[in-house]
Each structure stands twice: as C-alpha cells, then as structure tokens.
Amino acid sequence: MSDSKKGLNTICTHTGEVQDEQFKGAISPLYMSTSYAFENVDVKRYPRYFNTPNQEALCKKVAALEHTEAGLIFGSGMAAVSTTLLAFLRAGDHIVLQNALYGGTFNLVNEEFDKYGIEYSFTDGLNPEDFKAKIKSNTKVIYIETPSNPLLKITDLAAVASIAKQHNLVSMIDNTFASPVNQNPADFGIDIIIHSATKYMGGHSDICAGAVASTEENIERIFHLAKNLGGSLSDQTVWLLERSMKTMGIRVRAQNENAQKMAEYLHNHDDITAVYYPGLLSHPDHELAKSQMNGFGGMLSFELNEAFDASIFQKSLELIKASMSLAGVESTMLSPSQTSHFLMGPEERERQGIKDGLIRFSVGIEESEDLIADIEQAIQKVKSQTIVEAN
C-alpha cells in the first residue's frame, strides 16, 4: 500500500521510519553523524544538505501527511517561510499576501523585501476578489494563511488556487494553525504548504522546527536555496519531532473536540461578548471551513465583556497558562493586543478587529470540565474585582 493511501494515524505512526537494520529496534535509530563515507560523487550526506538518514525519513512523513510528493524539514517555521518565499521571488517580482498574517512573516516581508527589490501587496480582505485586485503583471506568488491568527478567519483554498493557476502564480499557504490533521491544501490545488512544526507537529512546546510540502520539482527548487541559506534542523530535534508526530493525529483530534466544547461554552456565556471559532454555526465562514477542513482545529479566540480587565482575567487562571506559544498539549491563553499584536499599534489593531478584550485560546488535551472550571472561576474573579472598583 502506498503511504498516501494509508490513514492519518498510520502515517503518523509509521511513515518515514529509519529502519534499524542492525538491532531491529522498534523505533528509528538516531544518526548524529555530520560526516558520511562517499557512496558515489552525487550523494554527499551532510546535515546542511538536508539529507541525513533522519531528515530524509521525516521528510517522507511530512509529504505523506500533506498528500504531496516531497517535503523538507527546517530549523524553524520562519526558516521554512523565508527560504520558500525567496526560492520563488527575485528582484523585480511581486507577491500578493493576505492581510491577516503571522507576525514573523509580516516582519520578514516588511523589513527585508525592499532590500532584495521584491515588491509586495497585502490584500484588503480574504475574499477571492481581494486577491485578484492586487495581482500585477510582475506578480509571481500568492500567499495565504487559514484559519488566520487571531480571529480565525477562513480563506477559500480552491478559489485562491484557481486564481493562482489562471495567472500562472505559485500559491503558498502557511498551514500551521490547521495542522495536516485538519487541512490538506494540496487537495484543493495549493502548490506549496508550509508549517511551523514548533506548533501542532511538535505539540509539546519543546521543539522549534519548520516544514514544507510540495511537488518534487518545487522541493528541489527550495532545497537549492535552503542549502545555501543553511536553515537545517539538528538531527537530535529531527528525531524528537518524528517521535512527537506519531501522536499528532490523536492529539490534534482531542484538541479539536475540546476546542469545540470550549467554543460552545463561551458562546453561551453571558460575560463573553464574542467567540471566533470556525466550528461554531455562528462563524461567518462555518460552511466554507466545513468544506475544506477535516476538523476545526484547537485554536479559538473570544472577547470578554468590555467592563472586565483582560489582564486580571488572565492572571486569575490557575490551570490554563498565559503563554505566547500555541498548539501544545497544555492549554494556553494570551491577549493579542498585549503580546503578539502589541507592536502593530492600536489603530492597525482596531482596523483588523483585534479588541483589547480579545483573548486567544490554544486548547490543549486536558479534561474539558477542568478547563471550563478554570475559565469560570477566572471570570468570577475578574467580575467581583470589577464590581469592587465600580463602587
């Protein structure tokens, strides 16, 4: 059976194992060598050539999970993003990017692209027309991220892929928030799929890594730049990432289930004024999400009643941690206006609909009753303090 025909958890558990020919151990042996005897002049194994035994094996797992021919593993999500973008853009080219983007990607484009003479435009919205409107004669790449951070907006994968094909552009997606468990953009015609493996692929908040999945031809092109830029991942971490990905399917599905419960609980709560989660019927893009996602993911955000101080709410949480990172097995919350989107400034936040009371919730695998109890006691605490102050 070819790997792409196997089910998710079978791929997670088995695809891309390094066979232990010597001792027949159950798991992949770890090859830390930076030096390998020449087999022939073409195959020089070296960590920065992205071709050690553990790297090659893990690339196969990534490709199988994303239904693509090939994959590549990087030292961070941003190494994957930057290398992939620069592999397809040169001076004089133009790229269209969706307006709601991961901060690091936004900074890369905003702070670095002028230097390389690469032109860029951000869309005004996420509708197909918004992308079409920004395409110019020198546009080469269209770049999306769905669901978006932190408002979980959905971009239409098939529509963007078809716009890209019509205009002969390469379509790229940052698929980190969905993970390969919940969304496989290649099935909708998106050319290149990028992940921060620091998030759901790693899943335990102890790995920084990135991944790219695409055709052999595209991966070859990305590899040619990657070996020059040098953003490879240490084999020790490659090995740990493979171990982590064995449980990605069951972790993420548990997170989907918990997130749905949290979204419904918050949606029905009198002190919560808005909940953003594609799994809710009230989400404006619920039907679109349903048509292109296998699950609605473990990320959501919500707005506390404006009278409440969001930072008191967060400080009152006992089980859920206040943390910048996301997608670990442990639940975390943060206030985008005070952390991830602080540097954006109040006007731009306002324009993007990111209110001061907005809380981003990365739902873990804890028991849902315990998570709800923690949120409830924190709401009660902030509520009692608000009343005291009002008096």
Ligand X SMILES: *Cc1c(COP(=O)(O)O)cnc(C)c1O
Please identify, among the stretches 29-37, 76-84, 234-242, 296-304, the one whose residues bind ligand X according to the rule CB under 6 A. Answer: 76-84
* Integer Cα distance of 341 and 335 in angstroms: 9
Q: Is 176 in the site for ligand X (CB under 6 A)?
A: yes
Closer Cβ to ligand X, 225 or 312, answer by number: 225
- Figure out which of the listed residues 71, 150, 180, 210 binds ligand X, where binding follows CB under 6 A: 210
* Cβ atoms of 262 and 361 closer than 8 Å: yes
- Figure out which of the listed residues 47, 71, 77, 147 binds ligand X, where binding follows CB under 6 A: 77
Exposure of 13 in the CB half-sphere (CA atoms within 13 A): 7
Minimum Å gap between C-beta 101 and ligand X is 8
- Figure out which of the listed residues 93, 174, 285, 303 binds ligand X, where binding follows CB under 6 A: 174
Q: Is 76 in the site for ligand X (CB under 6 A)?
A: yes
Closer Cβ to ligand X, 66 or 145, answer by number: 145
CA dihedral 67, 73, 76, 78 (to 10 degrees): -60
Please identify, among the stretches 116-124, 192-200, 221-229, 271-279, the one whose residues bind ligand X according to the rule CB under 6 A. Answer: 192-200
Q: Is 183 in the site for ligand X (CB under 6 A)?
A: no
Q: Kindly give the residue spans of alpha helices, DSSP state H, lying in the chain.
A: 8-14, 53-65, 77-88, 103-112, 128-132, 157-166, 179-182, 216-229, 235-245, 248-267, 286-292, 310-316, 346-352, 368-390
Q: Which residues face 274 on adjacent strands? A: 303
> Which residue has its beta carbon closest to ligand X?
77
Please identify, among the stretches 37-45, 169-177, 255-263, 381-389, the one whose residues bind ligand X according to the rule CB under 6 A. Answer: 169-177
Q: Is 277 in the site for ligand X (CB under 6 A)?
A: no
Q: Is 296 in the site for ligand X (CB under 6 A)?
A: no
Look up residue 290 and give its two tokens: 């349903």
**Angle (CA) 123 363 7, round 5°:** 85
Cα radius of gyration (the chain)? 22
* Cβ atoms of 154 and 126 closer than 8 Å: yes
Task: Give the residues lining the site for ligand X (CB under 6 A).
Answer: 76-78, 102, 104, 145, 149, 174, 176-177, 196, 198-199, 208, 210
